[in-house]
Amino acid sequence: MSKNVFIAVDLGAGSGRLIAAKTDFSTVELEEIHRFDNPGTDLPDGSYWNLIGLYREILEGLRIAVDRYGDRIVSIGLDTWGCDFGLLDGKGQLLGMPHQYRDARHEGMPEAMHEILPELEVFAHTGVRTNFYNTSLHLLAELKKGSPSLLHAEKLLFVPDLLAYWLTGRQAVERTVASTSQLLDPRSGDWAWGVIEALGLPSQIFGEIVAPGTVLGPIRDEVAKHIGMAGIPVVATACHDTAAAVAGIPMGAEDNLWLSSGTWSIMGIETRESYTGPDAYGIGFCNELGVDGTVRFLKNIAGLWLIQECKRQWSLDGENLDYAALAELAKEAEPFTAFIDPDDPIFASPGDMPNKIAAWCAKSGQ
């Protein structure tokens, strides 16, 4: 019997891929059908994601999937990193490419926010600590500089929501990715309206929130013509990549820990309640929402970002090293010749990471 096929679009901050999950509902076989880089782009006014390029790669992957599996395809789901967003005008047109969450516009914004709302108060309302990548800070930066995009915006969509909108024509925000923004109440699952109002953000841009598992609708006719098949439903899965990863872990007991490693390494537990008091804040954890009413109580840890940026810089310098080659070089290198603090703010933004590391070592006397 032919197996049903579900197409997963999985975008990370360094690369993207489309996976075909073939199943008879007793076993699942995964096949990677398309992979591509997601390097981002530095422009004079900041760091951006090439979202149109990513969308083109998604369409190419879907075309391959249709050629390979045809009407066995049941649905399409997407997940991406959190926090980053696009703004739409009243006609549904994108008002500029989305900035990367590491873009320098966040500088000075934590202090500006906490002049309005103390950090513990923000944490009590949202369950999320103030970090440079928060959506709240990037929107506040746009507000303070009088951004025309924000002035004319009618809707905010996070990256997976925006891609789903282009596939289906429906504008909706999926709850797990919204919970990364520092603008969602983890208890109600609705926007943290008190925080939004206090910061002076335009309330009309915060629209419909849907639960993971919501069917957004079939692909648009134009998409169907491009990929060669009509009527495929697009599902708002757990659209934040960590929420999607944790949903697939057979956690069992609530005191079991999980660790998800990528650009970030994220460690936490899956629970049924949020922890938004000073004790939770004091240990550096935050609350993001998962599937089926769960809360991911977690801590963000420096992951593969430094390696990804080094690899990108070496490629620009003409050394195209894959991760297997880098692992072999690391094995051969003398260990512990220098130490760095990967959480130092100097490493947060894109750039020439090998030189940043060398400069940090020199500054610290190594």
CA distances, 301 to each of 190, 211, 262, 263, 291 (Å): 27, 27, 10, 10, 22
Q: Is residue 219 part of a domain?
A: yes
The percentage of the chain sitting over the pLDDT mark of 90, rounded to a whole number, equals 85
Mean pLDDT of 79-102: 95
DSSP character string of 187-254 = TTSSB-HHHHHHHT--GGG---EE-TTEEEEEPPHHHHHHHT----EEEE---BHHHHHHHTS---ST
pLDDT at 256: 86
Task: Please say if the pLDDT value at position 253 is more than 90.
Answer: no
Structural domain total, the chain: 2
Mean pLDDT (whole number) for 236-257: 88
Q: Residue 182: is its pLDDT beyond 90?
A: yes
Q: How many helices (H) and strands (E) does the chain have?
A: 14, 16
Query: What residues does 177 pair with on adjacent strands?
Result: none
Could you tell me if 63 and 166 lie in one domain? yes
* 263 touches 305 (CB < 8 A): yes
192 with 73, same domain? yes
Mean of pLDDT values over 222-235: 98
Structural domain including 124 reads 4-243
Q: Which of 225, 243, 261 is the last residue of a domain?
A: 243
- 127-138 tens-digit pLDDT: 999 999 999 999
Cα 237 to its chain centre, rounded Å, is: 13
Contact 257, 268 (CB under 8 A): yes
What is the model's pTM?
0.90
For residues 233 and 296, what is the distance between their CA atoms, to the nearest angstrom? 28
The single-letter code of the amino acid at 198 is A
Query: Does some domain include residue 110?
Result: yes
255 noted as active-site residue: no
pLDDT at 1 over 80: no
**Residue 27 neighbours by CB distance under 10 Å:** 8
Flag whether pLDDT at 306 surpasses 70.
yes
User: How far apart are alpha carbons 340 and 164 in whole angstroms?
Assistant: 40
Residues 238 and 310 in one domain: no
Report the pLDDT value the prediction gives residue 106, as an integer from 0 to 100: 86
**Are residues 32 and 151 both part of a single domain?**
yes
Do 338 and 194 have their domain in common?
Answer: no
54 lies in the same domain as 183: yes
pLDDT at 290: 96
The pLDDT, as a whole number, for residue 104 is 86
Position 261 pLDDT exceeds 90: no
Q: Which of 200, 224, 243 is the last residue of a domain?
A: 243
Judge if 20 and 132 occupy the same domain: yes
Q: Are 193 and 325 part of one and the same domain?
A: no
Helix, strand, or coil (residue 34) = strand
Residues near 290 by beta carbon (within 8 Å), at least 6 away in sequence:
176, 238, 243, 246, 247, 270, 296
Report residue 192's pLDDT band, with 50, 70 and 90 as the boundaries: very high
Give domain status of residue 59, yes or no.
yes
Q: Of the listed 103, 221, 241, 322, which one is catalytic?
A: 241
Residue 171 domain-assigned?
A: yes
Q: Which residue from 57, 59, 8, 63 is spatially nearest to 30, judged by alpha carbons? A: 8
